[in-house]
Each structure stands twice: as C-alpha cells, then as structure tokens.
C-alpha cells in the first residue's frame, strides 16, 4: 500500500510536470500568435478625424496612411463616402484596409455646415444726403447667400432715426444687417442761368428788355418765385448798368448772378455795318414781330416787299413809318411770269412800285431781283434776261442789291440756331454785310434767331443800318 502510494505520488509529480509544460507551451503559442496578430494587422491612420466644411465648397481629403510591418499599403485602402457638399448634414467617409485575414475600418465624419452670412448690397451710397422735409426715395438693395441664393425678398427694411436698417437671415440663422445713413441737409445753392448774354450792348434810345432767366434748385421747388432782381437800365443815358439776380433757397443757400448792360452810341460807318434785309413779306405772322424787335433794339432794316394781300398793307406802312427802307422785290414773285420777257419783269416791277407808292407815298428805287441778279432760274424763260435787266434798271435810276451773307432761311435751314450760325459765321468787320433773310409766313426760325443775331452784332462791334441810295452796292455776278 505504501509502495503503491509511493508509486502514485511519483506519477502525480510526472503529470504535474506535463501540465506545466503544456501550459508553458500554450502560453508561448498564445503569445506567439498574439505577437503575430499585432505585427500582421495593418495600421490605418487618418489625418484630422472629423471635420466641418462650408456648404457648397469643395471637400479636400485631409489624408490617410496605411502600413503593415513597415510596408506602405495606402493604395490598397478602400474609401467609401456618401458626402454631398451641396447639402447641409453629417456624412461619413469609411476607410477600409484588408490584409491577409485582417480587416481594419475607420470612419471620418464630415459635417457640411452653413456658417457663411448672407450679403446685402445697397444701390446708391451708404450715406445719403436728403433734402430737408422730404422723404428718402429708396434706391434699392439686394441680398444673396451661398446656400439660399437670392434673398432680396426676405430683407427686412426699417427706417428710423435718420437711418435705414436692412436685415436678412439665411436658412441656418446667419443674420446680416446693413445700414444706410440719411443726412437731412441742403448745402447746394440754387442755379441761375441767364437767357441771352451776361454782357449786353444796346444802342442809346433803344428799349432794354431783360431776356429773362431760369432758376433751379436741388431741393426747393418754389425757388423761382424767390428771385430778387435789382438794378435798372436807362437806355437814354450812355453808361454801364448792372442788373443783379439774387435768390436764396429754403435752406438759406444764396446765389447771385449779374448782367452788365452797356448803353452806347450807334457809330455808323460803312465797314462792319450789318444790313438786315427781309424778302418776300409782309406776312401776318412774322413781319409785325420783326418790326417789334427792331424797334426795341433801335435798329433800322430793309424790307424787299411783294404783293401779298391788301390786308397786310398796314405792315408796309409800319415799315416805312418806323424808319426802315421799303425796297421793291416783285409783284407776283412768280419766276415764270416775271422772267417770261424783259418787259414782263419791268411791268411787274412797275406794279409793285405803284403799290408801295400808294401805301407810303415814296418812289422806292431800291430793288432786289427775285432770286437775285445771279439767278439761273430765269434761263428757263428768257435767255440773257438778267444781263439786260441789270443794265436797264440801273439806267432807269434803280439800285439793285444782292447779298453777301445768307441766313439760308429759304434754302434748308432747319432751326433758329442754324439761321443764327449761318449769319454770324459769315459776318466780316472789313466790309459791309448785306444779310439775306425772309419774313414770309411762319418763318419762325428767322424770327427766333433775330434778337440773338442783333445781340451778337452789337456785342462784337458791328453797327446796323438800312439800305439807302448811298449804300455801296452789293451785287452778284450775272449768270444769264
């Protein structure tokens, strides 16, 4: 029994050894496989794990790396993503690497956010000057956002305390405000624009007529009624006169403009003299108004009249009574009749001469041929008629006058400005200037240019006179 016991004790010891060895082996094996696992499991590294990006911007991969032992196997990483950068939200990107039996996964969260504020754009300035006691007229605005797009309709506009506050929120609550400052003041003085010249010259004995003015103001619409005109002109006294136009607007801004009027003697010499001549009148619409202007300007002119209507005879009478020259132009002014023969012209001349005589009592010997002495229209009716007539009328004691300046008012001038320019651009100081104009019906271009032409002449040292038998003759060359 004791032997057996001893024997079994030995066996027990033997078993223990075996078990210990087995455990050691197991532990070693486990350790070995654990180490193998650690070594052979791929490593996966992400740079910047979770990130926020602004909606509608491009996503830039921050990077990842994968290794096993020391070998770079990054190119074997599979990346899966449901990222949509156009839409706010959370998205996941999955990175997966497989190696042998090992499989490693990592994820990255991308939060697509809208942190950008909407933009408000104001039309006009952010600081606006507004006329006192008026309301600012909104110049407009717009708003846009990177996520919502056009937000103009959602802009709230509040006007208070001399400023306007514009505010708008985007879908994600980003709030933008912008202000426009209103400055209620008027520092701009009114504008006075004088009609006519600032420096005028008028002849002694003429009538001074203020050509007027225009007043405007940026704020004060009633400013025209506030103008104060001071100073006066005595046209019967040589001298320099000043008229002052002064106006102050509602806000107290003042403007003052002066006009100087020079009253001078009319010094008549032949050179530089302007002879205004009016053909084809009288007319009911124009002639009387021309006479009014000539009277006011104290100027004498010459009218080459035709037979219009006996109802207008009073105008020929007025021309004569007011000191102008009444010249003879034609009775019928019909080229086909007048130039049908030498005698036809002389008959026509005789008829208008008699008419003028019956109205004025004078025998006018100052004439102008229909179409002028250089006309070619007469060729259509009688060859050589002008060569004959220019000699014949002179023989009979007439003096015929053509012109050396034409207003072109019967030949295509399209405005009073054109008439004015046609005349003034051809005036010369070193000669006499005989100006062809017309006072036929409705010739408003000439009527409206006349005062400016006279003003120009006076301001530029010309004198005005009417044609008399002593006036040097201005004639064209004869063409028929």
What is the binding site for Zn ion (CB under 5 A)?
279-280
The SS3 of residue 404 is coil
Work out the number of other CB atoms within 10 angstroms of the CB of residue 410: 15
- In angstroms, what is the minimal distance from the CB of 370 to Zn ion? 5
Closest contact distance (angstroms) between CB of 333 and Zn ion is 6
By beta-carbon proximity to Zn ion, the closer residue of 280 and 402 is 280
CB 439 to Zn ion: min, Å: 11
How far is the C-alpha of 163 from the C-alpha of 180, rounded, in Å?
Answer: 6
C-alpha span between 347 and 343 (Å, rounded): 6
User: Quick one: which of 390, 385, 381, 384 has its CA closest to 336?
Assistant: 381
| Closer Cβ to Zn ion, 114 or 280, answer by number | 280
Sheet containing 71-72, strands listed edge to edge, beginning at the edge strand earlier in sequence: 43-46, 64-68, 71-72
- Asked if residue 449 lies in contact with residue 457, where contact means CB atoms within 8 angstroms, the answer is no
CA 317 to chain centre: 50
Nearest 5°: the CA angle 313, 319, 321 is 100
- Residue closer to Zn ion (CB basis): 141 or 331: 331
Q: Chain-centre distance of CA 33, in angstroms?
A: 91
Residue 237, CA distances (Å) to 196, 211, 231, 294, 365 in order = 22, 20, 15, 19, 36
Q: Specify the residue, 280 or 439, whose C-beta has the smaller distance to Zn ion.
A: 280
Residue 279 CB, nearest approach to Zn ion (Å): 4
**Nearest residue (CB) to Zn ion, 168 versus 435:** 435
How many whole angstroms separate alpha carbon 474 and alpha carbon 373? 11
Q: Are 144 and 177 in contact (CB under 8 A)?
A: no
Q: In the numeric block, which tokens belong to residue 182?
A: 């209103």
With a CB cutoff of 8 Å and minimum separation 6, the contacts of 393 are: 349, 367, 400
Residue number, 260 or 475, with CB nearest to Zn ion: 475
For Zn ion, the closer of residues 143 and 389 by Cβ is 389
Nearer to Zn ion, 145 or 279 (CB): 279
Cβ proximity to Zn ion, 18 vs 411, nearer residue = 411
Whole-angstrom Cα distance, residue 457 to residue 463? 7
Q: How far is the CB of 329 from Zn ion (least distance, A)?
A: 6
In this complex, which beta carbon is closest to Zn ion, that of residue 279 or of residue 319?
A: 279
For residue 348, the minimal CB distance to Zn ion (Å) is: 12
We find the least distance from the C-beta atom of residue 307 to Zn ion, in angstroms, to be 12
In whole angstroms, give the CA distance from residue 388 to residue 398. Answer: 14
CB of 410 to Zn ion, least distance (A): 7
Neighbour-count burial of 435, counting CB atoms closer than 10 A to its CB (0-12 exposed, 13-18 middle, 19+ buried)? buried
* Residue 332 C-beta: closest distance to Zn ion, Å: 11
The residue whose Cβ lies closest to Zn ion is 279
Query: CA–CA separation, 308 vs 334, rounded Å?
Result: 12
**DSSP-assigned letters across all residues of 297-309:** HT---EEEEE---
- Least distance from Zn ion to the Cβ atom of residue 284, Å: 18
Neighbours of 359 (CB within 10 A): 18
């Amino acid at each position: 029994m004791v032997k057996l016991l001893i024997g079994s004790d030995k066996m027990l010891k033997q078993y223990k050894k075996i078990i210990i060895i087995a455990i050691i082996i197991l532990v070693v094996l486990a350790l070995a496989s654990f180490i193998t696992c650690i070594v052979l499991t791929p490593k996966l590294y992400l740079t910047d794990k979770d990130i926020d990006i602004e909606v509608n911007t491009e996503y830039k991969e921050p990077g990842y790396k994968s290794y096993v032992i020391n070998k770079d196997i990054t190119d074997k990483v599979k990346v899966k993503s449901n990222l949509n950068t156009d839409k706010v939200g959370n998205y996941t990107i999955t990175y997966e690497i497989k190696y042998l039996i090992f499989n490693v996964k990592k994820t990255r969260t991308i939060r697509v956010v809208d942190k950008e504020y909407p933009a408000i754009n104001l039309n006009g300035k952010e600081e606006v000057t507004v006329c006192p006691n008026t309301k600012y007229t909104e110049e407009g605005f717009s708003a846009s956002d990177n996520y919502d797009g056009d937000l103009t309709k959602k802009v709230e506009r509040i006007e208070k305390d001399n400023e306007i506050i514009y505010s708008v929120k985007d879908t994600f609550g980003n709030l933008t405000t912008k202000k426009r400052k209103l400055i209620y003041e008027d520092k701009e003085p009114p504008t006075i624009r004088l009609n006519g010249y600032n420096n005028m010259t008028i002849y002694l004995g003429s009538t001074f007529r203020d050509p007027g003015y225009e007043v405007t103001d940026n704020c004060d619409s009633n400013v025209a009624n506030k103008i104060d005109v001071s100073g006066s002109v005595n046209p019967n006294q040589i001298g320099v006169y000043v008229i002052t136009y002064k106006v102050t607007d509602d806000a107290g801004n003042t403007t003052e403009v002066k006009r100087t009027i020079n009253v001078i003697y009319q010094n008549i010499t032949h050179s530089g003299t302007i002879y205004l001549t009016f053909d084809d009148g009288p007319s009911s619409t124009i002639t009387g108004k021309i006479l009014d202007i000539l009277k006011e300007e104290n100027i004498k002119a010459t009218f080459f009249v035709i037979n219009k209507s006996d109802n207008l005879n009073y105008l020929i009478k007025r021309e004569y009574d007011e000191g102008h020259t009444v010249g003879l132009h034609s009775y019928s002014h019909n080229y086909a009749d007048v130039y049908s023969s030498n005698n036809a012209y002389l008959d026509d001349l005789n008829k208008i001469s008699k008419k003028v005589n019956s109205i004025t009592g004078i025998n006018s010997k100052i004439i102008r041929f229909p179409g002028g002495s250089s006309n070619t229209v007469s060729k259509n009716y009688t060859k050589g008629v002008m060569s004959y007539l220019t000699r014949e009328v002179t023989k009979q004691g007439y003096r015929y006058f053509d012109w050396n300046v034409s207003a072109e008012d019967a030949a295509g001038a399209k405005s009073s400005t054109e008439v004015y320019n046609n005349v003034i651009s051809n005036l010369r100081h070193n000669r006499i200037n005989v100006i062809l104009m017309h006072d036929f019906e409705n010739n408003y271009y000439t009527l409206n240019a006349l005062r400016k032409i006279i003003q120009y002449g006076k301001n530029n040292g010309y004198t005005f006179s009417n044609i008399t038998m002593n006036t040097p003759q201005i004639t064209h060359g004869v063409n028929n």
